[in-house]
């Protein structure tokens, strides 16, 4: 059974002598436990190492607060640092969609939840911000995916670009732009095709679409349960396409959330939303507190 970090740390500190400040040795002992917790949460080794170093510098020499135990104190320092690394000072849910019509490019591997998330974000923009949104599917190889977006659009009351057979993704992106301008839409969302794995053809296609659309936001949708694979996907897409944020799906599952920290550390790009189920309302703004809690157990 996984013991949570607070319990582990109080165990560690019970064995240590009481002092007025956190000594280097105390902190080192505690951080060994933190490291185990991070690795168990699927944080990658180099990211865990850097993180521990930052916490060590902050914790060593801190006066022990009377009201909380040294264990709780280290947990708090770790928690605050996790939050800091995960979001910095940004507001994850605030998408850059001024200057209508603002293009949002949705990218990711097949099955990660891209189409579902496109519709969830469209619904959110419509309901919370009163935006007029147009969605377009660029997945020309999978007619079912195009139809899926249409069905979701009808369900949430958001327009989709009519499907024209035989058009390539770049032509669809151009048509979406024209339609969005003429139709007075605030935002148009381009749901690009996914593949089971990253390949040159997929990347070249997404790149071509990016170049004609010039998106204000490029959101990568990844399955949060796939851990380190999700981190590699993020690294690849960011290098090649340049993403502005990440949506982690399937966070209703029992993933420990370490991928969130690694992804942020590796790409420097913020996690904007988390998907918490298949329903259209199951999308929340990323809350670093919750993920920090999940990572620490």
Binding-site residues for GTP: 108-115, 191-195, 249-252
Closest distance of CB 198 from ligand GDP, Å = 13
User: Residue from 11, 46, 88, 111 that binds ligand GDP (CB under 6 A)?
Assistant: 111
Residues between 125 and 144 with contacts to ligand GDP, criterion CB under 6 A: none
Closest distance of CB 177 from ligand GDP, Å = 21
Asked if residue 290 binds ligand GDP (CB under 6 A), the reply is no
Total residues contacting ligand GDP by CB under 6 A comes to 17
C-alpha 176: how far from chain center: 26
Asked if residue 44 binds ligand GDP (CB under 6 A), the reply is no
Binding segment (CB under 6 A) for ligand GDP, from list 11-19, 67-75, 90-98, 104-112:
104-112
Residues between 211 and 270 with contacts to ligand GDP, criterion CB under 6 A: 249-250, 252
Closest distance of CB 140 from ligand GDP, Å = 14
User: Residue from 24, 90, 278, 289 that binds ligand GDP (CB under 6 A)?
Assistant: 278
Asked if residue 93 binds ligand GDP (CB under 6 A), the reply is no
Q: What are phi and psi of 222, to 5 degrees?
A: -130, 150
Rounded to 5 degrees, what angle do the CA atoms 117, 245, 247 make?
A: 30
Asked if residue 110 binds ligand GDP (CB under 6 A), the reply is yes
Annotated binding site: 108-115, 191-195, 249-252
Binding segment (CB under 6 A) for ligand GDP, from list 21-29, 69-77, 86-94, 275-283:
275-283
Asked if residue 275 binds ligand GDP (CB under 6 A), the reply is yes
Q: Of the two residues 5 and 220, which places its CB atom closer to ligand GDP in the complex?
A: 220
Closest distance of CB 58 from ligand GDP, Å = 34
**Chain positions contacting ligand GDP, by CB under 6 A:** 108, 110-116, 194, 249-250, 252, 275-278, 282
């Amino acid at each position: 059974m996984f013991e949570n970090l607070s319990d582990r740390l109080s165990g560690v500190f019970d064995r240590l002598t009481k002092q007025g400040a956190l000594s280097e040795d105390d902190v080192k002992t505690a951080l060994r436990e933190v490291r185990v917790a991070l690795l168990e949460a699927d944080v990658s080794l180099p990211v865990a190492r850097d993180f521990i170093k930052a916490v060590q510098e902050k914790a060593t020499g801190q006066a022990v607060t009377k009201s909380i135990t040294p264990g709780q104190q280290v947990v708090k320092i770790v928690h605050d640092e996790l939050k800091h690394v995960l979001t910095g000072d940004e507001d994850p849910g605030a998408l850059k969609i001024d200057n209508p019509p603002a293009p949002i490019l949705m990218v990711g591997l097949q099955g990660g939840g891209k189409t579902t998330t496109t519709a969830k974000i469209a619904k959110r923009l419509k309901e919370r911000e009163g935006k007029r949104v147009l969605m377009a599917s660029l997945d020309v190889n999978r007619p079912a995916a195009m139809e899926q977006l249409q069905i979701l659009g009808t369900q949430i009351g958001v327009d989709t670009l009519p499907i024209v057979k035989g058009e390539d993704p770049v032509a669809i992106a151009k048509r979406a732009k024209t339609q969005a301008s003429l139709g007075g839409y605030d935002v148009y969302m381009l749901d690009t095709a996914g593949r089971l794995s990253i390949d040159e053809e997929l990347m070249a296609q997404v790149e071509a679409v990016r170049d004609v659309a010039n998106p204000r936001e490029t959101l990568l949708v990844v399955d949060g349960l796939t851990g380190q694979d999700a981190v590699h996907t993020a690294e690849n897409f960011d290098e090649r396409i340049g993403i502005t944020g990440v949506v982690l799906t399937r966070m209703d599952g029992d993933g420990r959330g370490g991928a969130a920290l690694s992804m942020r550390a590796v790409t420097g790009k913020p996690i904007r939303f988390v998907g918490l189920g298949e329903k259209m309302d199951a999308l929340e703004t990323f809350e670093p507190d919750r993920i920090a809690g999940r990572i620490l157990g």
